[in-house]
Structure 1
């Protein structure tokens, strides 16, 4: 058996590296792959762009990209979009100067172009010998297949995330369904939703249809007492959501003209970003839920809004059930009080009648 060359060993290692196995997330896999590709080629530096099936873009750089290379890569990235596979050449070259070129290889998954690899190489490294060409062709095939491995890992992690959310949503809905005391229920929602959403705080504002105000009850951080705030539905992001019935993602509240910071100032809480969704019961909006500031510091996204909307649907049903139970109890207490009053009147009449005769 002929001995295995250094380049063959490198290709074997590269092939193993570009497999998604063993990586916990897509950025880690892409980062490790880019570092090995820069070393293998060899290249002075590299950049990798990948767009997931959910259209999330991941951009990674490794090594020292100068201003010209960074500008050219940036221009290409700005117009890139995941697309059906075209007849683009396997490798493209962009001349930077007499000695350096920017090499471009597309990442493929099934019949789609899903990303781009850029390597900053010297002119003399581009002019490879005929003996090295098969190895380069194999490396190009491995790079192009990297998109498929990234897609597999991205879809796996997305499915795992969805399963975790469904499990948490089930747990929360089961918990809310068994609580029919309104104040306790609202406190439970405020406690559980931030855990599910990975946020710092949750505010529940119920709609007072008579006064057209959102009513918020919150604990004072200093005194521990419960305070009530009333916010007109024509003020603030929450008021806009209650009026229009459409969830909102605001990742920079200071730049949103609807932002009303009166409550935040009063309770001494710094709000940076808001995720707000209506609590619907049938066609009626019975309130809104606000989730404030992701603990990770990341911005809220559409998936977060979908999850909060689902939680709000469960919460709205629970709130209406608790209100119905409270209303029935109040009606029962009223009837019992009326019955006691009638009984007392009858007893008084029976007692007074013989006395007067």
Structure 2
């Protein structure tokens, strides 16, 4: 007779899978993620997860849902995007510490390749978006393609372009260098069911799309390269038909301004302790005006800033991921931003850092 398995031992994997797959954080899921994080922080988890934290250079004892979403999940996903997803599966299944370190190092290297590929693709996409922004108004839909793009990364690219334009976006790549087929990844905005748009295109032009699937906010499709221009026309037309009159107006939800005395490490720590945060249980978002004291490029395309409160009482560190310093006003000027309050840990020192999510003015 088999013993009853102790399912609590799997909560580390439950937490990782729930966060990585963007599952809504209802009451039960939050409890399971929190329990899984407790196992991860105490290193009572899969040896592969320990190895991933090590190669990512992240303090495992302070792990939270953001750690899983931004450091662990991308390394696991990179294998499926560029090579063989079984590398990640084997990492999570192994009990051998040496094998786990080897596989984690392999995933880390693949993720570095993914970042390089994505950055190169983003440069071209940014140039296209910049051209579109020179027009009197952005088109209702954006469709992008480049023959050198990697099909495993087009979904990430489409997501980034959608974030910056608030438009439904499809990014295409060739199936392979010799193929006549293009594979596309679509990302949508609230109020537009992207799969319904593809259904409508397929109904009006049955031979245009070879296959497609997805849901309201994301979809994938395959079509012939020679049909791309016709598809672009149909995609734009059907998006316009499906959009409500105010469908392209972006709505940002904010919890308002924060009193200067509450712009503190203590507040950020309280917010962190109230987690886990995630899908349908968003971390508090605030908005306010600040003076830009200093801005500098870090990495390939991130900006580190020093902001000052309008009353000159405080200077606060801030970070904006995937934003160039040129996206911000000149030093000495005021800026209106949406931000989250984060705990920054560096060399065993904890400090307040604002994570800039949107530039309003």
Structure of higher RCO (CA pairs closer than 8 Å, 6+ residues apart): 1
Higher helix share: 1
TM-score, reference length from structure 2:
0.24
